[in-house]
Amino acid sequence: YIPPELREDRGEIEAAQANALPNLIEISHIRADLHMHTTWSDGRLSVREMAWQARERGLQYIAITDHSQSLGVANGLSLERLLAQREEIARVQAEFGDSLRIYHG
């Protein structure tokens, strides 16, 4: 497989055959995870635990994106629960300060 970004007729077919294609992205390039579910819906970790794990992995930004009430099977958030989650995210954000930015999506 040759990623579209490398398809420029510059020897990429030969490089692929020699298993010598360059990596387009390294783990160290990833700065954010913008789709995270927590125990507020169908995730396994709390907001605080997700933030801790993200910071341990060197991320700078995360977005908590739990399910809405339209997906009840996944414990989707009602408006009341969504507002309560926003308050929790604000508390966790205060704990982490500038070391990690937590968005609410």
- Consecutive 10-residue averages of pLDDT for the chain (105 residues): 95 96 93 98 98 98 96 91 98 98 97
* pLDDT for the residue numbered 79: 96
Indicate whether 37 and 74 sit together in one domain.
yes
Domain that holds residue 15: 1-25
- The number of distinct structural domains making up the chain is 2
Indicate whether 59 and 95 sit together in one domain.
yes
Indicate whether 13 and 61 sit together in one domain.
no
* pLDDT for the residue numbered 52: 98
* pLDDT for the residue numbered 71: 86
Greatest CA separation for the chain: 57
Indicate whether 74 and 37 sit together in one domain.
yes
Indicate whether 35 and 71 sit together in one domain.
yes
Indicate whether 79 and 94 sit together in one domain.
yes
* pLDDT for the residue numbered 34: 98
Indicate whether 47 and 76 sit together in one domain.
yes
Query: Helix and strand tally (H, E) in the chain?
Result: 3, 3
Contacts of 63 (CB under 8 A, 6+ apart): 32, 33, 34, 35, 36, 102, 103, 104, 105
Indicate whether 12 and 38 sit together in one domain.
no
* pLDDT for the residue numbered 11: 96
Indicate whether 43 and 93 sit together in one domain.
yes
